[in-house]
Structure 1
Amino acid sequence: MTSGETPADCDTILVTGATGNTGSRLVPRLAALGHPVRAAGRRAPELPGAQGVAFDWYDPATHDAALRGAARLYLVPPTAAPDPAAVMLPFLERARSAGVRRVALLSSSAIPAGGPGVGQVHAALPDLFDAWAVLRPSWFMQNFTDRHPHAESIRTSGVLLTATGAGRVGFIDADDIAAVAAHALTDEPPLRGADLVLTGPQSLSYDDIAATLTALGGRPVRHRSLTYDQLHDRLAADMPAGFATLLAGLDRAIADGAEDRVTDTVERITGRPPRSFHEFAAARWGT
């Protein structure tokens, strides 16, 4: 906030994907800071400190009500969309016309500006808004505990299935992503054109993850390596073929070392270090 400005003076922040991994953690952060928050979801979410509003990327009739009075926007792309720009860019044009001034977009460490999928939205932001930041987190730690195929596989069979081989990833806690998002949406002066690659403090293989889960979770977990084709076929049985190709390709990129990195972005933006996977797992299983 600028000097002399109070939280109550700030315009509404619209949070799309408000019930998801990052949105559900961002909403209470913003509300605790005193900002008016509108929480958007397919069914108007009931979240403390926020006004719920029905919002569907694929239903433009829901967009005007969600945007009314909003000046800042947290963007979570539609899930499993092969071409998110097709629905997101018309919405962003409408958002600009409605008075949105600042945007924080959730993307991926694996997708640069101009890349496939949400990378096309990233590339369009400079022509739409003066103040914008793109959060490009690595893989979520919550993938092993929440509603994700890895978590389900761990629960049902004690196995992690990937095509990553010995490749390493800087896994990050969704709480740390939400903390960065809160700063991106509220800090003054605002971030302008920030491309923020977010990781945890360590780069870990899936073998490392399995070993930590075994040590802390009270049951054996092992990592089983698949080939690219094996993983693609498994994924394609449950999702569009194009999205299965994208996800299997991301695993292959990990195997080739594309995600073997650690950044200081979380600490630089929030003033505190990101949570380690061991800390995350220990908190989950109480050891």
Structure 2
Amino acid sequence: MSTASTTLVIGATGTTGSRTAAQLMAAGHGVKAASRRATPVAGAEPVPFDWYDPATHAAALDGVDRVYLIPPLGDPDPAATMLPFLRQARPAGVHRAVLLSSSAIPEGGPAVGTVHQALPDLFEQWAVLRPSWFMQNFTGTHAHARSIRDEGIIWTATASGQVGFVDAEDIAAVAVRALTDEQAPNTDLVLTGPEALGYDDIAAVITEVTGRPVVHRRLSYEQMRDRLTTQVPVEFAAMLAGMDRAVAEGAEDRVTDTVQRLTGRPPRTFRALVEREMRCSS
């Protein structure tokens, strides 16, 4: 890839977008950092972007040849908003698109799965990142992180199901490779950490590393759905609670070698992430 290439990073202030922008710039690649308020990102060109405001789209696409796509948060039908933008991106000069999806959503599945299905027909060079649950859900602004801080409790409907939690830094590292390698992956990539953990395990690690007691409280699907409806729209709450139920049934009990294979290094463990967060906050 030539350093003349520029990547539009949508959601450049978010969990994976900020890390992807930072890693791209550290490697010498040009970045346009898109966010609703065009928030400055060190070394990147800030640009206003709102999925629901098409007037912001043309300027964001100007001068870029690849794009990192973060779907609109909480939208149960992101394809209605994203596909018109992507159809505009190709003639504007974008030849590679990397989409952030989820390990829980297959090609053609609900929500962003429809965008996943459409991507190969829109771009010759593409990739879909399907990470497992983020480790940062327990350390950032996610509902789990808030309930850990406020109550010392993680609430889920996952029962004893296990998840290959993955560090957002590792997701970003794979995104950078998918955006910049000479050959695009042209496939979907399921990303996990090095081990599958249950939420009881997560609570135990946080307790051991921080010294603060944290427990996992198990809810039914209905209880989890109702709890989430106080935070997100009802349809999205039902989908999220359904993902918890799928975890309980074993849908996320797996690990993959994708991070190692694409970056050349092993994915970070959850314990290492919690220890790192403690050092940063001390």
- TM-score bucket (shorter structure): over 0.9
Give 1:187's aligned residue.
Answer: 181
Percent of aligned positions with the same letter in both sequences? 63
Deviations 1:144-180 (A, max 9, x none): 0101000000000000000000000000000000000
8 A Cα contact 2:127 2:184, kept in partner: no
Give 1:220's aligned residue.
Answer: 213
Structure 2: gaps (5+ residues): none
The offset of 1:33, in angstroms, is 1.6
Name the amino acid aligned to 2:212.
Answer: R
1:78 to 49, 66, 72: 72
Name the amino acid aligned to 1:23.
Answer: G
Deviations 1:226-255 (A, max 9, x none): 000000111112221110110000000000
Distance 1:284 1:44 in 2: 27
Deviations 1:11-39 (A, max 9, x none): 21100000000011111111122111100
Q: Is residue 175 of structure 1 aligned with residue 169 of structure 2?
A: yes
Matches within 5 A, 1:66-105: 66-105=60-99
Matches within 5 A, 1:1-287: 1=1, 5=2, 7=3, 10-191=4-185, 193-286=186-279
Matched residue of 1:29: which SS? helix
Distance 2:214 2:30 in 1: 43
Distance 1:190 1:235 in 2: 37
Matched residue of 1:275: which SS? coil
Deviations 1:191-216 (A, max 9, x none): 2x221000000000000000000001
Name the amino acid aligned to 1:185.
Answer: L
RMSD: 1.0
8 A Cα contact 2:128 2:189, kept in partner: yes
Distance 2:141 2:91 in 1: 36
Name the amino acid aligned to 2:66.
Answer: R
Name the amino acid aligned to 2:36.
Answer: R
The offset of 1:189, in angstroms, is 2.1
Distance 2:29 2:231 in 1: 40
Matched residue of 1:14: which SS? strand
Distance 1:256 1:243 in 2: 20
The offset of 1:285, in angstroms, is 1.8
Name the amino acid aligned to 2:203.
Answer: A
The offset of 1:218, in angstroms, is 1.7
Matched residue of 1:37: which SS? strand
Distance 1:98 1:140 in 2: 33
Matched residue of 1:197: which SS? strand
Q: How many residues align?
A: 280
